[in-house]
């Protein structure tokens, strides 16, 4: 836990990381993880998302679920910036081993309220080693 969060008195936001490891369809993990992120956004914590393994497919462009009769929720990721969820760590190795590049992912942006509401990319490409550092900095890691 961060030193700040340990103190008595006023509550300092905790660092929450939601780790997405599964493909968007095939199992319900991605959808129900997103439901947690949406509810969690109301609690004013410091939220980050991580996408690794097949989880990188959750952000893939051009998803079309008509043929499988599943609800498409891919667009919801683009709305998360409005809820203060602006850090999407995507693991490079997971993209590479699946033949994907940043260009295969949706463009996800947020308006930076600390910088004249400039539109900035939410996706942060990180190596596996860098992602492990991000994980080490968290107070709460929820893995799906």
Partner 1 sequence: MKFSILVNEGPYTHQASDTALQFTRAVLAKGHEVMRVFFYHDGVNVGSRLTVPPQDDRNLQKSWSDLAEEHKLDLVVCIAAAQRRGILDEGEAKRHGKGEGAANLAPGFRISGLGQLIEMGIESDRLVVFGD
| 32 interacts with partner 1 by CB under 8 A | yes
Stretch that binds partner 1, among 30-38, 62-70, 111-119, 121-129 (CB under 8 A): 30-38
Distances (CA, A) of 123 to 7, 33, 81, 110: 32, 18, 11, 10
Give the integer Cα–Cα distance in Å for 11 and 1.
13
Q: Identify which range of 42-50, 83-91, 93-101, 129-137 contacts partner 1 by CB under 8 A.
A: 42-50
> Any contact of residue 45 with partner 1 (CB under 8 A)?
yes
How far the first Cα of the chain sits from its last, in Å, is 21
Residue 29 found at the interface with partner 1 (CB under 8 A): yes
- Nearest by Cα to 87 from 10, 136, 36, 15: 15
Q: Does residue 28 touch partner 1 according to CB under 8 A?
A: yes
Beta strands 140-143 and 118-121, pairing class: unpaired
Q: Residues in the site for partner 1, rule: CB under 8 A? A: 1, 11, 14, 16, 28-29, 32, 35-36, 39-40, 42-43, 45, 139-144
């Amino acid at each position: 836990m961060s030193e700040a969060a340990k103190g008595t008195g006023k509550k300092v936001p905790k660092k929450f990381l939601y780790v997405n490891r599964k493909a968007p369809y095939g199992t319900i993990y991605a959808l129900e993880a997103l439901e947690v992120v949406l509810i969690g956004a109301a609690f004013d914590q410091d939220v980050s998302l991580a996408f690794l393994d097949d989880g990188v497919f959750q952000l893939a462009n051009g998803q079309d679920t008509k043929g499988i009769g599943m609800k498409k929720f891919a667009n919801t990721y683009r709305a998360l910036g409005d809820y203060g969820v602006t850090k999407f760590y995507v693991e490079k190795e997971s993209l590479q081993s699946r033949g994907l590049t940043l260009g295969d992912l949706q463009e996800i942006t947020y308006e930076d309220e600390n910088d004249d509401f400039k539109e900035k990319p939410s996706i942060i490409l990180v190596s596996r080693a860098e992602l492990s550092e991000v994980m080490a900095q968290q107070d709460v890691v929820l893995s799906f």
